[in-house]
Amino acid sequence: MNKKKLVVIGGDAAGMSGASQVKRLKPEWEVVVLEKTDFISYAACGMPYYLEGLVPEKEQLIELTPEDAVSKRKIDLRLRHEVTKIFPEDNKVAIKTEQGEYEESFDFLLIATGSLPLIPRAGYQQSEQVFVLKNLSDMEKIDTFIKENSPGKCAVIGGGYIGLEMAEAFRGRGLETHLIHRRTDLSKTFEVEISNLIKEEMANNGVVLNLETTIEAITDEGEGVTVITDKGKLNYDFVFLGLGTVPASKLAGECGIELGIKGSIKVNEYLQTNYPNIYAAGDCAETMHLLSKEPVYTPLALKANKEGLLAGMNMAGLQKPFRGVLGTAITKCFSLGVARTGLTYGEAVKHNFNPVKIPLNSQSRAKYYPDSAKLFSLIIADKGTGLILGAQLAGPLDAVKRIDVYVTAIQHKMTLDDIFDLDLAYAPPFSPVYDPVLLAARVGRKFI
């Protein structure tokens, strides 16, 4: 029996997926997971909804308990174990614990260190009244602060997914909530038409928008936080930083593991680094964009889980490539669902396509059926071929899940004609006779 030893750095989505998969395929192998916090396998995407009060108990966010990881999956899980150094040539890692330091050898190593919240480089004063949201500890700090201090006014800095979700969460807790963003439009992943609909929804739900506002400093005033901007000083009871994330790749980079785009760990399609027995997966690793064929940094939950699973399969001896991503994402802003996939118009131009935008206003259901509502679709297609390059939707929550049809279309290189030929389901409670996807293809052919 050729027994091997896998060491995993990080016990969340990618790490536990990889460890669990190896144990399924190679139960005789020793699998050690080193996690520096008290938590593993939790639903990070659910944290804003817990803070809003939609999820009653934080335990509902736990996907796998440490006890089950050990007893049911037979994983050697070690909490509060921080890896401080990797020795790729010697196949070992250095570990720091509350009891001291030691080294652990490995045959295979999976780096699943995730990402870190982006913090302003200058003018930022660390404060107990300035929060980020990366893990359950951060979530508990925010929840405790609100319960104990009964704040009335807060600011969310950043116009990306987490910024939108947290602005809604704080409004749901009854707080006067301001969104501060340096651009007129929100995250660059949204086309301007979609961004405008999101801003309108936020304003209609009482979020104060401070756009085109550059932050120069954030200072702790003792009983509050002052955000110094190019337009003056803004005062809040607390501030949330939603500026995005950066890969937690310092540990890998310090030992000679090659880094790629935005400092993420460079891997091949089998999730291997430049050391064949060292793999990386999840938010710390780069991947390939399926359309541009260029490396991208896309820290999203499905990617992390898939990569962890495939890394585990590959370490166990199977050859299962991870093909890449389209940057598909979906979220909600109050009653508005928002979804996107593929290239933006600007990205399509950059990658030498000849893109055209196809806007469409339609109904989510038959117009006479109760709760039918407006669905806005924005399709990006190649003008010469009709090839679908991207799609963005805004409308009722259930309606924007149609983004998955566009994901399928893009991955299978479908054109507007191909989409129009699809035999999609129809009944009044679900869609008009011409589903918005079909209608977009029908209208879109006029643009090509």
Tell me the catalytic residues: 45
Identify residue 275 by its one-letter amino acid code. Answer: Y
- Asked whether the beta carbons of 93 and 86 are under 8 A apart, the reply is yes
E strand or H helix that includes residue 104: strand 100-105
E strand or H helix that includes residue 177: strand 176-180
Q: 32 phi and psi, to 5 degrees? A: -115, 125
E strand or H helix that includes residue 379: strand 374-382
**Angle made by CA atoms 283, 59, 244, in degrees to the nearest 5:** 30
Q: Which long-range contacts (CB under 8 A, 24 or more apart) does 49-58 make?
A: 49/165, 49/169, 50/139, 50/143, 51/133, 51/139, 51/142, 51/143, 51/166, 51/169, 51/170, 51/173, 52/168, 52/169, 52/172, 52/173, 53/172, 53/173, 54/172, 58/136, 58/139, 58/140
User: Which residue, chain included where needed, has tokens 């756009």?
Assistant: 211
Tally of CA atoms within 13 A in the half-sphere of 102 that contains its CB: 9
Tokens of 361: 């206003």
Q: 86 phi and psi, to 5 degrees? A: -110, 135
**Angle made by CA atoms 135, 322, 423, in degrees to the nearest 5:** 100
Tally of CA atoms within 13 A in the half-sphere of 343 that contains its CB: 28
User: Which residue, chain included where needed, has tokens 């190593």?
Assistant: 109
Helix and strand element counts for the chain (H, E): 12, 25
